[in-house]
Structure 1
């Protein structure tokens, strides 16, 4: 009897102890937030940039997520994913961020409200009773801050969701949006027409302005914080170069994405480009060479050819769209970049560091790349292999320069002739404060015509870097990693080929022989035991 009492008391004490531990764990979990994310890109947890944004919210932000319930895969996991991420945002906000989920259902009033907010319904296919059916659903989010609101119309995918949320909240709570100016007037692409994907991402955090120096002169740059020069094809006149130079001398930042060779992809003709930037960039310490770089690590393109009455499509490797995978991992701009593709790329000549300016090569081609100069062969149906005397890589193709620059016009200020009234020695700046420029030997990589998601992300990250807002760099492409397999040597390809053709069958033969030997030995053992 006494033993039963002791046993019951021990069991009761054990259960109370377990209950107490569970209560303590729940209390600690409620006070302290923790999550273990084992994915390489940490896509199920928010970054330090998002955490810092939450910790420093000036006022309360509230999110209303309008998600239709009971959706088919893969949309059925969106609600739980978004809820988990929002809980993490709330945990780091100290009460500054709140959220709620609303199922529009069949409520006509809610549906009309969503249309006014800019959240459209999406058509989702599902299988019910062995039949395909189309279901109308909503997957949008509205963020409210003071008297302002921002909308994510549709959460199409969970990839890049953190960036969508953080950039939306950052834009919503910003006192002033900075302006990115795109130079126009020299046959540059209009970013809202030829670079729609990149513009859409950039406008999540900044205003975009079209800068025409011919019409507005220096005043066109008054409200601009960063100037982006993309692929000018006609010559930028000296007066415009002066305004660009003085923009840099004020401590503003500039990106130069320029072609040295213009390739017409319809006729496959290549000509040198005289855009007027050569002397300016060389003065700043980076020269875009008049060459084209080919690489064995490249993009595949679809080429159509006529064969008799039929039009045949061929997918071939095109060396003149190199895939670059060698990046400077110490730079915040390229430390998370895996691969970029550059159509009709030119190499750079980068000056050594000076006391005033530090130069960094951000990207290089592979050692098996080569250089075309003089006569350019660009037709993918011709032999694009390197000539015996061609210079081989790696070649620098993207570079950054940071420091105090000297004006390109510093030694020209005595040229105050009447034909240059804009060159005013009394108001011209000859030395910049600490600032930065970015140079890439390709002006086409961000165009929709050559759309490649990592390229668009890099262009948007470049704007952040120029704005000296490194917080957003790295989270924009989370969950969108591009890790191409490195180019293999011919002998390596042969080894893999024959291992697949011969090696695997041989392994099966060896395995079968081993199994036969084991069964034979086991049978012999039984026979000896029976004797």
Structure 2
């Protein structure tokens, strides 16, 4: 009877265990204990993947058993894709194709995976592999393909530090936006090839160039809903193109008879009033080369996205001596480059150069960046009016400038030859923009911030390695960063360069709030005398013996809320007439209309309740000096987060902070350090000795007690 009860009890327990396992399979859950939520999705990603209306397939092509530091990449990708699968609906699917990296292990399926990867534009890359004290190069696949409806987006290489959630969500959202834009186009995008038939005989490639370019357009149409048309225009048998409008130049062609005629070899992608051109023939050292259409297919797809307005538009002020988006002479003239920032920001935003002297700020721009305006090209009242009205219309503005302009004079030698450069001269940066900022309640001080807590440079010398403090490169501590702002959340350190203090007015109008983004340490000081400024030889900088103005200084600030127009009580300034219009008026009286016959009144907006103005006291904050190419440094993430906030994409900051890998240790007081050192070196050994003695005494006592017990037994 008892045995029967035991069998029944065992069967019930087994049934409970089986049912519990079945229940847990349907009630799967995970808990992410990481500080930044590295292994869980943000709300914006969950909403995106759960709201998919068209099938989305993510294909990952990755080599098996990748060496360090890529050895965890496959597992990280699997983990994040499984999170998307749990949060998504039935339209989300993913496949991971593992490719063997050893020839003897390669199966037929692995070869098929390689062919598939190459068909999507994913090719193997060379990575280092350390094996038995040898460094070898091995080929590896690490790419991804996104297939959403009829669109395909390829990521040829996934970096080991890639923020996978940001990569997946931003790519899919961009594809969704592009699909919506393409389906709502009022007219097709046109690709026009202006190629003179007189040039075709110069090369066999030129004879078939129209067919090659048309094949590229057909390929682009497969992922752009057939919204691109192609037309070859032989300029020898038709009217000349408006090459000044499109931005390309004619060629001077000499025929067999020696006669020089005008010919064209350029292509134009155009939609509405927007267009982009490229030259078919590019001049090099050894002559002209023909642009391969297949080699620029990806670039042309990017041009299509820009033409139809995929991504937010950001106005980059390009005149008045500001840093240039695209300049081939930056290194030659020592100009700071912003190429890294441009490449990183271009993943989601269209950076459009705007010259206020000739252009109007585009209506579709949601934000504006002013980087390093120069004092020798001051802003006119009309320029300031455009900036002011952009802010009043709800646009957000970011200004990057320090208090001085560095000017390096060149000494002329004999026969006009340049001699050695002299020491820089620092000129106060009086650009005209200052009065606008002052009116809004913020200014950039005419001084530079030096900080004892700064970046240190290691330099080899005859006596060994020297540690040189760069006092004009403050290293921002975590406690001096306002992490309550979403754009700075998770940022635990920054490095700035050539920073002036940002001064916030003590009396801001009601409804306008000012927030310090980050500041220098308590051991910083100001250099205000232009004759004493030294930003070129850090070894000659000595901290002052005593500090009268020692303390931390704001290096960047945000003003938001209600703004009143600077021109509200001044009226609309007069718009200067363009030089071209003035010349036309002098040349032809038939097209002149007297100014007193026609007038137009500007509709000034006098206030806004939703303005945002970011002011950084460094012109180099957006330069390659502080921004890395991969966008993984804290400086890069901070600026990209602010750009997202300026364009209404603040949720992306939550995803981007998961890629932060900089987590410095907290500073420890000297007394605490001494106590910990003493505890480890003295107290722990003493405690160990005392504990050992106590154990030895206990064992000895127990030994004597046992011996006494046996002695008594023997006596009995």
TM-score tier, shorter chain, comes to 0.7 to 0.9
- Aligned with residue 171 of structure 1, among 171, 174, 181: 174
| Structure 1: gaps (5+ residues) | none
CA displacement at 1:510 relative to structure 2: 4.8
Q: Is the alpha carbon distance of 1:157 and 1:131 closer, same or farther for their aligned partners in structure 2, counting shifts above 3 Å?
A: closer
What is residue 481 of structure 2 aligned with on the other side? 327
Matched, 1:365 2:368: no
- 1:111-260 residue pairs with structure 2 within 5 A? 111-115=114-118, 117-126=120-129, 133-174=136-177, 175=180, 176-191=310-325, 194-214=337-357, 216-218=358-360, 220-234=361-375, 235-238=377-380, 239-260=382-403
- Worse overlay, 53-62 or 248-257: 53-62
Matched, 1:402 2:545: no
CA displacement at 1:228 relative to structure 2: 1.0
| Separation of aligned partners in 2, 1:17 and 1:529 | 52
Please give the secondary structure, in 1, of the residue aligned with 2:75: helix
Indicate the structure whose relative CO is greater, using CA pairs within 8 Å and at least 6 residues apart.
1
- 8 Å contact 2:626–2:635 — kept in the other structure? no
- Worse overlay, 438-447 or 414-423: 414-423
- 8 Å contact 2:51–2:89 — kept in the other structure? no
- 8 Å contact 2:322–2:374 — kept in the other structure? yes
Q: Is the alpha carbon distance of 1:438 and 1:5 closer, same or farther for their aligned partners in structure 2, counting shifts above 3 Å?
A: same
| Separation of aligned partners in 2, 1:118 and 1:509 | 66
- 1:379-390 residue pairs with structure 2 within 5 A? 379-386=537-544, 388=546, 390=548
Please give the secondary structure, in 2, of the residue aligned with 1:411: coil
- Aligned with residue 77 of structure 1, among 72, 79, 89: 72
| Separation of aligned partners in 1, 2:426 and 2:688 | 58
| Separation of aligned partners in 1, 2:392 and 2:121 | 43
Please give the secondary structure, in 2, of the residue aligned with 1:448: coil
Matched, 1:511 2:710: no
**Coordinate RMSD, CA, aligned:** 3.2
Q: Which has the larger radius of gyration?
A: 2
What is residue 277 of structure 1 aligned with on the other side? 433
| Separation of aligned partners in 2, 1:142 and 1:148 | 10
TM-score scaled by length of structure 2: 0.66
Aligned residues: 517
CA deviation profile, 1:269-314 (whole Å, cap 9, x unmatched)? 6443233321111111111111111222221124566x5xx9x753
- Aligned with residue 533 of structure 2, among 356, 359, 376: 376
Q: Is the alpha carbon distance of 1:121 and 1:465 closer, same or farther for their aligned partners in structure 2, counting shifts above 3 Å?
A: same
Please give the secondary structure, in 1, of the residue aligned with 2:430: coil
What is residue 300 of structure 1 aligned with on the other side? 456
Q: Is the alpha carbon distance of 1:390 and 1:165 closer, same or farther for their aligned partners in structure 2, counting shifts above 3 Å?
A: farther
CA displacement at 1:183 relative to structure 2: 1.7
- 8 Å contact 2:397–2:612 — kept in the other structure? yes
- 8 Å contact 1:90–1:98 — kept in the other structure? yes
- 8 Å contact 2:366–2:646 — kept in the other structure? no
